[in-house]
Amino acid sequence: MRSPRIVAFLMVLVLFAACSTYKSAPQLNYYHGQKVPDGYITIVRASTTEIEFQIRVEFRAQQLYHLVLDGNDPVAEGWFITTKVGGPFYNVTLKPAEGRTFEAGKTYRLCIGQESPQKVQMTSSNYQCMADLVFVFQEKS
């Protein structure tokens, strides 16, 4: 029979291990997904504080996680509905995280995935993008 101290120690150890693996800003490797053919994702508007994509890709999921990445560093991210209403596309408007901006001439990636990076980091250090678009940021109104 185990003593209560050993059981309590093991519970604290498990809790500590679980908490130590979670990071509010996950450090993941974002693996490229399927390259989207030209014209299936276009940039409608772009400024240093906001970028809007028009996405014509057909997804089975009704909601997916969209990220704009600078290497493996998310600059902007969020959940968006992929249902196409009134046309063959859906729109996604992403704003950079607080204190960040999009920089003209810099190369970014739009990564569309099934889960948030915060959830993925609990079980893996790799994030798989379903669809991927590499682009050079230019302001566009």
Tell me the C-alpha distance between 119 and 21, whole Å: 11
Give me the sign of the Cα torsion angle 121, 127, 131, 136: positive
- Give Cβ neighbours of residue 133 (< 8 Å, ≥ 6 apart): 35, 36, 41, 109, 110
What are the structure tokens assigned to 14, written together?
């498990």
State the pLDDT confidence band at 22, using cuts at 50, 70 and 90: very low
- Name the residue ranges covered by the structural domains of the chain: 25-136
Average pLDDT over residues 57-86: 94
Residue 13 has pLDDT above 80, yes or no: no
Question: What is the number of other CB atoms lying within 10 angstroms of the CB of residue 33?
Answer: 17
Distance, C-alpha 15 to centroid of its chain: 27
Residue 131 has pLDDT above 90, yes or no: yes
**Phi then psi for 3, rounded to 5 degrees?**
-80, 150
Q: What percent of the chain has pLDDT over 90?
A: 71
Look at residue 9 in the predicted model and tell me its pLDDT.
52
Alpha helices in the chain (DSSP H): 4-21, 117-120
Name the more confident of 7 and 86: 86
Look at residue 14 in the predicted model and tell me its pLDDT.
46
Mean pLDDT across the chain, nearest whole number? 86
Residue 41 has pLDDT above 90, yes or no: yes
What are the structure tokens assigned to 70, written together?
């600078």
Pick the CATH number of 25-136 from 3.60.20.40, 1.10.357.140, 2.60.40.10, 3.40.50.720: 2.60.40.10
pTM: 0.80
